[in-house]
Amino acid sequence: MGRGRQKAKATKQAREIKYYTPNTDLSALERELAQARGEIPSPSSDDAEEDPSEDWDDDYGR
């Protein structure tokens, strides 16, 4: 006797491991991947970018 309780505990632990989803810090992941590629991301890269259509307009006389 006692095997049922042990099996139930093992099943509960297996489910906890299977469905465990940790909080993911995507910005930290992006920085880590950029470092691995040798890029240096700027903290405000979205704000600092220029509109690419402005350069295109200058190049093609619009």
Collect contacts of 43-51 with beta carbons under 8 A, ≥24 apart. none
**Whole-prediction pTM:** 0.36
pLDDT the model gives residue 38: 84
Distance CA 52, CA 58 (A): 10
pLDDT the model gives residue 31: 92
pLDDT the model gives residue 9: 95
Question: pLDDT digit of tens for each residue in the chain (62 aa)?
Answer: 578 999 999 999 999 999 998 888 999 999 999 998 887 655 555 555 566 666 666 666 65
pLDDT the model gives residue 13: 96
pLDDT the model gives residue 24: 87
